[in-house]
Structure formats: structure tokens, C-alpha cells
Amino acid sequence: MAITMEQLLATLKATGEETRLRILALFKNGELTVTELVSVLRQSQPRISRHLRLLCEAGLLERHREGTWIFYRLAYGSEQAKLIKSIMNFCPYDDQILQHDQERLVEVKRERDKKAAEYFEENAKNWDKIRSSYVPEKQVEDFLLEEIKGKKIDDLLDVGTGTGRMLELFSSYTKHGIGIDLSREMLAIARSHLEQNDIDHMHVRQGDMYDLALSDHSIDLVIFHQVLHFADDPLAAIKETARILRNDGCVIIVDFLPHKIEKLREEYAHRRLGFSNSEVSEWCVATDLKITKTEVMKGRELDIGIWIAHKNQKSI
Ligand SMILES: C[S@@+](CC[C@H](N)C(=O)[O-])C[C@H]1O[C@@H](n2cnc3c(N)ncnc32)[C@H](O)[C@@H]1O
């Protein structure tokens, strides 16, 4: 459907103001909260909130509330979303003001990542215990093994491998596996687990889920087990995953369903309070993956979602 005159005018009006254009330029990658935008733009919260409201009303940004945090991101899928994407292609990102904003955004993100990294550094030794207190582990793991039964997995990637539990679990069914993680402390534990269990066809290395440093079409199965709720930009991570998946390759996402346990942000460095089916579906639609199965598992305090998606719609 073509854009209406009214929508076009609303988009141009909303975009045609310096602060709002600066805000839109900051959404090049991922989602941001009001607090983060305030830190980058150094304007008052009510002012930024007013601009955000206007951008949402014009259909250029979308917002979702999770507990006390509200996340904003560029609209997706609508005619206005397509229009704003095209307009932003003309944005002079080398302009001094915009460049300065990008630099401050990098700082704000670095500060946030530092907190998460410190959390994993401090908690690497206790991670297996922490995970099992929130996740019905046995049930999830039995389900995953049942899913891959009889399937040929030459190359597996475990993203955010932590202490390497998924590498151990899948080791008997995989020819070769890699686990990547940002945290050296987590990787050190993963390495020693693999060694203790004589698993020498699964390796770990430091790596970033947004830039996997792997060739296109090189992996059959990618696992995100309890990782994406730490991510700034889950869609970008799924995009990078779709790139390295072979045709018919599979991605398994295990994460919390939406919840309200706010303390997980402060105490456990979670960025997101779980994900809904529709959000995971949006990532998959945007990256040409097709969800072939979803499963819900009841935990003691939190429910777990398992999403299985394939590239090019067939099964592995
Ligand atoms: C909650 S732990 C999960 C570990 C493991 N998958 C498990 O289920 O036990 C999340 C892991 O993601 C890692 N991580 C966070 N951001 C990352 C990124 N951008 N790239 C790679 N790993 C990341 C953290 O260092 C941490 O070890």
C-alpha cells in the first residue's frame, strides 16, 4: 500500500527538527531507553520524552514497556518505516553534531557493557548454579536433544557459550563445535569443562555475537541459550547468525518469556525482561528465517520459551 499524503506530511514534519533528526540517527543500531538518549543528547528527560512521543505518533519509532524501562526503536514494516529508512539513508553521519552523538552513544554503551562484563567476571564461577536456579535445565536439555535427534550437525556454534554447557550437551551429536563469548573468565571455565570431559572437537574462543568472524554459510546449528536478554540489539545478532547459517541450517533460541522481575536488571545485568513470541517472530521475518517450532516451559519463577527457526524453510 502506498503512503498517504497525511502520512508523508506527518513523517516530514516529525523528521524536520534538529533534535528529532539527531534522535532518529541514533537508532541506526538497535534499541535505546529514554535514559540512554538523555545521556547522549544531554537534554532534559521531559524534552526528550516529548520528541519521542511525537516520533511514535508519526509512526517512525515504536516503543515497548518492560517493567520500569521503556525501549524505543525504529518502526519496522509499515510504509512510514520504509520511508524513514530511506530518509535516514541520506543522513550525513559525518556531520560534526551527529558524529559527536555517535561517539557519546558508544561511551554510554561501553559503560553499560562494562557493567555486564563485570557481572560475568565476578559470577563466572557460580554461573552454572545461577542458571539452574532460574531455568528448568533438565527439561530444556531433554527437549533440545530430542529436537536434534538423528540430524546431521557438522558445524555448531554456541553464541554466548558462558561455561560451555551447550557445547558439552551437544558434543556427542556434532562433528565440530565452537563456543564464543566476550568474557574471558567464562571462557576459562568452559575450556576446563571441555578438557575435564575429554571433549576435543568443541572449542571456545573470545568473540562477539554481532561480528562472528565466521564465513557465510559455514554453520549448521546456532544456539543462543540464555544469552539474548543481555543483548542490546538481538535483531542484529540474529542477522549475523542468518549470514553464517548454511541453507537449511537451524537456530535455537532459549530465553525467558516476558516477566516482571525487575531486580534481574540490577542484580544479574539483564537488559531485557524476556521476549514474546511476536518479538522473536519479527526477528526471524526480518532475517528470512522461518520459525518451525516453539515450546513453552514452566520454571519455578520464570517461564522459558524455546524457538527453533530454519534458514530457507526446510529442516536440518
Ligand atoms: C547468561 S550467560 C549464558 C551462558 C550459556 N549460554 C548458558 O546458558 O549457560 C550469557 C553469556 O553471554 C555472554 N555475552 C554477552 N554479550 C555477548 C556478546 N556480545 N557476544 C558474545 N557473548 C556475549 C556473556 O559473557 C555470558 O557468558
Nearest CA to ligand 1 atom 11: 160
CB atoms within 10 A of CB 135: 21
Every domain of the chain with CATH number 3.40.50.150 lies at 125-311
**252 neighbors 270 (Cβ within 8 angstroms):** no
Nearest CA to ligand 1 atom 10: 227
Cβ of residue 269 lying under 6 Å from some atom of ligand 1: no
Distance 159 CA to ligand 1 centre (A): 7
Cβ of residue 135 lying under 6 Å from some atom of ligand 1: no
**234 neighbors 240 (Cβ within 8 angstroms):** no
10-residue stretch averages of pLDDT, the chain, 316 residues long: 87 95 90 93 96 96 88 87 91 95 93 85 83 83 94 96 96 96 92 92 95 96 97 94 96 96 88 95 95 92 94 61
Nearest CA to ligand 1 atom 25: 183
Nearest CA to ligand 1 atom 13: 160
Distance 309 CA to ligand 1 centre (A): 20
Position 175 scores a pLDDT of: 96
**Which residue of 122, 183, 202 sits with most ligand 1 atoms within 8 Å of its CB, as the best mutation to test the pocket?**
183
Q: Which CATH architecture has domain 125-311?
A: 3-Layer(aba) Sandwich (3.40)
Q: Which CATH architecture has domain 5-91?
A: Orthogonal Bundle (1.10)
Distance 148 CA to ligand 1 centre (A): 22
Cβ of residue 209 lying under 6 Å from some atom of ligand 1: yes
Position 2 scores a pLDDT of: 82
Cβ of residue 160 lying under 6 Å from some atom of ligand 1: yes
Cβ of residue 157 lying under 6 Å from some atom of ligand 1: no
Distance 254 CA to ligand 1 centre (A): 12
Every domain of the chain with CATH number 1.10.10.10 lies at 5-91
Between 45-57 and 34-41, two packed helices, what is the crossing angle to 10 degrees? 120
Position 38 scores a pLDDT of: 96
Distance 126 CA to ligand 1 centre (A): 14
